[in-house]
Chains A and B, each alone.
Chain A
Amino acid sequence: MKKITGSQAIVQCLHEEGVKTIFGFPGGAVLDLYDQLFNADIEHVLVRHEQGAVHAADAYSRVTGEVGVALLTSGPGATNGVTGIATAYMDSIPIVVLTGQVPTPLIGNDAFQEVDIVGITRPCTKHNYLVKKAEDLVPTIREAFHIARTGRPGPVLVDLPKDVVASMISYPEKKPIRMQSYQPTYEPHIGQIAKACKVILGANKPVLYAGGGVVLSNAHAELFELATKLNIPVTMTLMGLGAFPGSHDLCMGMLGMHGTYTANMAVAKSDLLIAVGARFDDRVTGRLDAFAKDAKIIHIDIDPTSISKNVKVDIPIVADCKYALTAVNNWLKTEKSINLEEAAARYQPWRDTINDWKIQHPLVFKDEGEIIKPQYVIQKLDELTKGEAIITTEVGQNQMWAAQFYKFDKPRKFVTSGGLGTMGFGLPAAIGAKIAFPNIHVIDIAGDGSIQMNIQELATAKQYNCPIKVAILNNGYLGMVRQWQELFYGKRYSSTVMETVPDFVELAKAYGAVGLRASKKSEVEDVIKEALATDNVVIMDFKIAREEGVYPMVPAGKATTEMLLV
């Protein structure tokens, strides 16, 4: 059989896995691979910092549903990627990260740019590998893709010693992957489905609580069918936004710390909580003993460790969300004895209560003349993009306002670091999303603090003609931390005042991008319109009300019904 180099084999294997784009940054340990990429039919996006590569690959995956790929060199290249890997891990995003490693004889010798990246990333990857033998190269990369995209998805890292990549191998034939110790459960237990359906039909005040798992398993249509068939109100986690149309009547918006009044009250007063692909995170539940305390809980999740981890579940269903919801919908269709209309009608008083809450306590903010309110900016972005843009965010107030005021009607449109809460995520994520969907507006909603954490990626956006838009909600503070200091630390703004903030308009120009500024409310709309019409990277610098807070807010450790309102 014809022998090829390890790097040729890797590129061939990436092709076989359907990889079109990889995000990376070269270095000594990956030179062979980069040489191979020089003429390969795979686009390589050169970022300006390895964290950006992993975030971009992560976002590419979030918007397409495919596995994102990042390529980093050994040592600092790999460690710079760790925040990105941990971000993907917390949000269950399927990515494969290839890292260079020093040649095998040097491993353990404290060689130049050597680091035990497999050891470092063990707790923040779904799985990782150090390839020690050339013949393991291709099977390992195949297994990495398989593990990343199946079951509860997640990042997989493959560490590639330079000598292994340089060696000559025969390219092994592709065979179906069978792993003795890894067989995720997709199909639900049919007895549990029947039990769940009966409980649903017997409930008076049911709530659907949808998380990122619905998006990951593409189960939005099945969720929609269940909710609309039975008239069940829906709330979503930050990661779930878009899983159910945000502008639908049954939608109550996000729940949790900065969730809507309606969603938090509905969960608290419900008699049945149907959790789908969500994990009862502390930002969602608030004080645990007060969370949905009168409700029976059905929990659908592909990961058994998520079930009964924080909240005791009555009916666990270990399955892929799509399979489980399909089974529920089918059961409801085929079971002759049941009367769906009767059930839907019985939920009507509950719907009325929820509508009253919606009317009494909608998401609001105080308008103050020409002062720009950040929520207004988001509303305008929503309006002027007809809710159809891909929105990425940084982390903090900008993220919460985006979640509250942009109405996501479709999944995979909201790209945010939910679990890890990584500042600096939004800009590289926007690049990843724009490369996947060049014809859709991609907007990074940022703060003046977090945008500076990966601002170097403006150069990447320029180099690859990614006309992304960055909307900086500029208040000169690390706003979310400042808000906590205002509320819980006697307004002592310790290290949250950004005394020096760059002139973002000039900064944009320096990168060859366009900088626009709005300092008055009346300028907001024009700035957004101009940005959307500009075929270039645009930074919109919105000078917003400096001490605006995100509300509602459930203080940490309080019950979710103890909300601070505007």
Chain B
Amino acid sequence: MKHTISVLLQNKPGVLSRVTGLFSGRGFNIESLCVAETLEPDVSCLTLVTRGDNNIIEQITKQLHKLIDVIKVTDIGDKEYVEREMILIRVKAEAGTRAEVLRVIDIFRGKVVDVSSKSYAVEVTGSASKIQAVIDILRPIGIKEIVRTGTIAMARANKA
């Protein structure tokens, strides 16, 4: 099963390598990984998507927690949460397809961020399934290149 794990860690050189080294050394897989500073500049937040049964996820969270530089580990999948990913897509946009591309991007609430005579670069944000959908739709038109950020996620606030 897919799990999204959020890790708060010390923002120091080598910390990311401790996390990735743990995954490669113990044979856990990483589907995506996203890391940046939090409000506190000496703390980073790392969002990681991985796959595994409950035992594996338990080991992953425990092993992450055991790293000295890791402050907090949350398996976001345990809760209600929002997730977002951003994709940049360079798609063929020639005379016959320019309007079509714009229509598709509009439907996905994306925007064009770079234009050339033969292509558009577009930006779309959303859940992993939305990102997959936009790729599927644009593929027949002709995708030249994509870059994805990987998922970031945040638990929803308590409803009370």
Contact = CB atoms under 8 A, between A and B. Distances in A.
B59 interface: yes
B39 interface: no
Contacts of B13: 130
Contacts of B71: 180-181
27 contacts: A119-B14, A122-B18, A122-B21, A123-B21, A123-B22, A123-B25, A126-B68, A130-B13, A130-B14, A147-B68, A179-B68, A180-B71, A181-B9, A181-B10, A181-B68, A181-B69, A181-B70, A181-B71, A182-B68, A303-B66, A304-B62, A304-B65, A304-B66, A305-B59, A305-B62, A305-B66, A309-B59
A132 B63 CA distance: 27
Contacts of B14: 118-119, 122, 130
A118 B13 CA distance: 11
A179 B63 CA distance: 18
B68 A308 contact: no
Interface of A: 118-119, 122-123, 126-127, 130, 147, 179-182, 303-305, 308-309
B96 to A, nearest CB: 51
B129 interface: no
B21 A305 contact: no
Contacts of A122: 14, 17-18, 21
Contacts of A308: 55, 58
Interface in B47-92: 55, 58-59, 62-63, 65-66, 68-71
Interface in B1-34: 9-10, 13-14, 17-18, 21-22, 25
Interface residues of B, number: 20
A180 B9 CA distance: 10
In the complex, the 8 A-B pairs of residues with the closest C-beta atoms, listed nearest first: A127-B68, A181-B71, A305-B62, A304-B62, A123-B25, A182-B68, A305-B63, A122-B21
B13 to A, nearest CB: 8
A208 B21 CA distance: 35
A182 B66 CA distance: 8
Contacts of B69: 181
Contacts of B9: 181
A430 to B, nearest CB: 32
A181 B15 CA distance: 13
B54 to A, nearest CB: 10
